[in-house]
Amino acid sequence: MLRIAIGWHFLYEGIEKVQSTQRGGKPFTAEPYLRASTGPLAPYFRNIVPDVNSVALLDPPRLKARWADDVDRIANHYGFDKEQRDKAAAELRQSTEFADIWFSDKEMTEKKEKYYHELRNVLKVERKVGALSFERERAAAKRKDLDADRKTLIADLQGKGNSLRGRDQAGHPRAA
């Protein structure tokens, strides 16, 4: 009976995750759990998340290339006609212009540099083989603070990326 109950629970949760995306909800992701992982396997779990520290998102050429790839992939997948491709290209141009302004903003540059500096310090402790337990605890606490800083730092860029993919600021599909 216990095996049946556990199996039923896993089946129900799996079906719920699939159906939530069909109803237009945000798809299930283990990203927050993997990002917040601690302990000896934390680096392994964090490496499962692509661009866990948002380094690629904060690099202008990589960000713009990613956006262009997303627009091209979506246009090819849905078979955009010329008018739709032109509209997508115009939106991509607006987004890249926004990115140029964002990356040239002095305040954002300072926040980005501060984030990189603190991230380097945390990574140094996490990678240090002989790090003491109190150093690891401080690094884990600092990583939580850094994750909050990262979220606020990339919010505008992520919003533009979601807009290009036809999603609202929260990442939900936009109504047509």
| Local confidence pLDDT in tens for the 176 residues of the chain | 999 999 999 999 989 888 887 877 777 788 888 988 887 888 899 999 999 999 999 999 999 999 999 999 999 999 999 999 999 999 999 999 999 999 999 999 999 999 999 999 999 998 898 889 899 899 989 999 999 999 999 999 999 998 888 765 545 555 44
Residue type at position 91: E
Q: What angle do CA 151, 166, 76 make, to 5 degrees?
A: 120
Please tell me the predicted confidence (pLDDT) of residue 173: 54
For residues 17-38, one letter each, b for 16 or more C-beta atoms within 10 angstroms of the residue's C-beta and e for the rest, the string is eeeeeeeeeeeeeeeeebbebe
CB-CB neighbours of 97 under 10 Å: 10
Please tell me the predicted confidence (pLDDT) of residue 49: 92
Q: What angle do CA 91, 95, 99 make, to 5 degrees?
A: 170
Please tell me the predicted confidence (pLDDT) of residue 174: 53
* 125 Cα distance to chain centroid: 23
Phi, psi of 173 (to 5 degrees): -60, 140
- Segments in the chain forming alpha helices (H): 2-22, 31-35, 42-48, 60-78, 82-104, 106-127, 133-164
Closest CA to 136 of 43, 34, 30, 35: 43
